Structure 1
Amino acid sequence: MKSTLKKLLPFAVVGIMSGATTVGALQYFNHDSNNGDQSFFTKSSNVSFAGMNSGAVGDDFVKAAKTTVPAVVTIKNYQNRTSSNRASEQDLFDFFFGDPFGGGGNQRGQQRQKQQQAPDNMPSGMGSGVIISPDGYIISNNHVVAGASKLEVVLSNKKSYIATLIGTDPNTDISLLKIEEKGLPYLNFANSDNIDVGQWVLAVGNPLGLNSTVTAGIVSAKGRGIGILGGQGKAANPIESFIQTDAAINPGNSGGALVNTNGDLIGINSAIQSTTGYYQGYGFAVPANLARKIVEDIKKFGIVQRGFLGVQSLDLSDDQQVALYNRDKKANIKAGSGVYVTTVTDDSGAQDAGIKIGDIITKIDGMAITDFADLSVAVGSKRPGDKVQVTYIRNGKENTANVTLKDQKGGTSTRTKADLSVTEKIGAEFEPLSDRFKTDYGLNSGVVAKNVTEGSEVAKIGIVDNYIVIEINGKPVNSQKDVEKILDKYSGNVSVKFVDAYGQIYTRGFKMP
């Protein structure tokens, strides 16, 4: 009896640490310890504990925590908030982690109002970050840094720095910051492809203002797409292939570390699925392999290099999507595994390789593609010019094609910031206003902002989709060409006069990137 209890004691401690399993652990100790039932560790009945380390798991957690905690930082986001950006106040902090100050769903409007009135020395939001090099590079989430006029980084030893934002990627919700320091503790990226469902992990961050908090759980699923990036209109080409974990994650954990029992970084905590805005058993992290690729691109090129296959597709694993497609297209496609090609883009790599509408993609470079999440990360983690082997089913027969990936403009070369167009640099596209609209609203000029990128220069000054830009640097604009002509090769401060959704006119500025 005593030996059995001794063996199981570390697992009970882990259950108590994870918070969500405390009640189950207490129930366990009230039963005969010989029953061997360890299902109290999770409410989910289909989680496999195969591969669980049979050694002293508690000791492993202690070592991993000691390695991880010094490398996880607090990030404070300071914003110049005005009434001009009230249409965009419900930012990704709400959608990912609820109110960053801890307000519940019904309190968000009131909290946002208070947040607008906060003095300049109060942060608009707080999250976490992970030091990934001894010279001060820090990885976090895009939504942690979005809209910031100043970013403050606080180490676990309370030392504070003002950080430089090196770059962001809304499509993966990853950002890269830099502080000027040497000899910092840091974490190594692990190969996230090697993680297994059921293995132990730790989530480390700063939830609810509680610095350097460690929670334990397991990997409860891989390759999870939850529709949170593209679903909120914040990402044009989202890549969602999250690691799902039941380690407790709450507001403030955003951008923190998900590590294995060696203390290696396997993911960046990004989201929770919850009806309350707080932990209810499901957390999601960007896998380390994808996060590392984004960071490498930002450091080397200044922007993310994204390869595209050149197809639109239907996720056959989604029964509802398939049913809707069949209804709308009067088709008879069967649900199952893989993605069904619905459109092939002209002059794309897919078209060049002979892929056609109706093909079912089942593998990329030999790795199984069961759903759209698999496809998005398999292709989205490649660069323009990279070649991938696509396995697909056509008329019941398996075929393979070697596809050279291209960027959205059809190029196969990598680009730097210097290669970007004006609208790409400032983060928005523009459409002309009709003459009728100008007459009705008494405007002599104007263009409508479209596809405003989260965290872009245009977004930072409060412009969102459908706001009207009247002038740039004192010159009237009536087309996207006008915007490009004014700002092409311009490197100074930019003055933008615009009209918000309420008809109020503002003039705001930014430095041309």
Structure 2
Amino acid sequence: MRSQLLVPLIIFGVLVSCATPPAAVVTPEPMTAARYLEEGRKFLTLPTDLNFVHLLNAYQGKFEEETRLLLEAYEKKQRTLINHYKENGDLFKLRFCYNNVAAVRPIGVNEERDFYNAFVTLLRRQNYAATARYFEEEYKLSGSGNRTRPVFDSIIGYNRILAEIQVMIEYADDELIQRIKRPSGTGFLIDSRHVLTAYHVVEGIFALDTTRATVSLYVQNQRFEDVTVVAWDSLTDLALLELDRTLPVPFDSPDQLFGDSAALTQGAAMYCLGNHNGLVSTLTKGIVSSTDRKAPEVGSWIQVDAAVTPGASGGLMIGEDGKVYGMLVAGFLYEDINFVVPSSIILEVIDRLREKKRVLRPWLGLLCREDPSGSGPPVVSDVFPGSPLAPFGVKEGDLLTHINSTPVRTVVEAQRLINRLEAGNVIRLTFRTAEDTSLEFWVILDRRPDYAIFNATRIFNKLTSLYPHFGVELDHNRIATVSIAYQGRLHEIPFYKVVKVREHTDLYDLGVRSGDRLGILDDYYRNKNRYLELFHLPQGRKLNEIEDISNYIYRL
């Protein structure tokens, strides 16, 4: 009997002794100026700027004097790192730190020129001739311009460095059936062991559904199997292939191949050399249609009307002076509207690609369009969820007014300022909201996701690309976003006004006309094809008058 009583008492005693006491309510210690300064200085000793930037964004408006002191301390840290990397010869990290200085205080024109003059001198000492030329031309320094003679006596001499590229990709399709595709392209030797081509020619080898892939090429009457893609920059659509043996080239540095694309004028004669439709070493001629055709994210392409067809991507655009002014990357098939990555962009990254260094392109996750009035700064179109910009409350319709201390007037200016930076750099952004209030904060740039610029027009400019793809042009100003129940779920459908419809297209035959409204129900890509699902609302019709909406939905 005694033991029977002891058991529950012992268990009860254990339960009582092990019970967790009620948690004390902890009141966060209020942030004071002294604590803000102390924490900021502590964060400056850490290897990354993340905590420091978060602290600035939280309290810069409350403690202005302490913020000024912290920014001075941050600049001092970056200056110390600049001197360290200068002594160690790590020039790209040196410039990374210089970019961070520009985020915390304005850089004067003379100071910037002095820095880049010294930077170019250091680049040339380390045999980064192409990168040095890029900075000379980008910042209009005294040594800008390539005054060397063409490396070949005639344009057809470039056949000696032209490469035919074949890619074999095995992949699983939507039904998990193994398929094979064999994209092809063009490339050219930039030194004795490396071939430069367009990234989109070889990007399939990195796809998630690829099970096996090989790259082979043919150059100087020699075939190379299992060629390695050693480096790439998907923003500029450049990729570098490495050969397993050396070949003779008639130049010492790749920068000797290139002319100054910034000096091109509209109407200049150009020759395009590539493997058009698999026809090796095909040379076509045309003129420069535009020297400043806006490109997704990267600034500007050169537009040329010389005939260019699939297989020529990665080919050369050569001027009558015998110098290369760019690389063929994209175009509208059989319409003599083709696009070229300028030589200035190639010069920027080619040395890093040759050293197999990653080009850490910056990414904010921000899409902008020009102000319709033509007088204002860029207008925010969208902010990617999960992007560096997402937590700050920037909305569609806000205006991007400043990057660091520089006023921004156009989308191209914004692209150029951001693309001068790298992933990991700190940047200060200023927006004017729809409520006419100022929104300013610091953000750390992320690394841009890899996708070829060849595909970026489809990803980021879907409204613009509707006309060449489907023959319909829409006003970019969204009329409304409407919730519509369709096929068992609720869809949020943005509606746009139709500006024009090309005759003899599917949409024209379906009755879509100027002034109608189109809602984009779905717009996606699969196996290189684009699919579009639209809700057509003709002029004079109202949504609440439609009984069966399936009669107004078109799939293309």
TM-score normalised by the chain length of structure 2: 0.42
Query: Structure 1-normalised TM-score?
Result: 0.45
- In our comparison, the structure showing a higher alpha carbon Rg is 2
| Larger RCO of the pair (alpha carbons < 8 Å, separation 6+) | 1
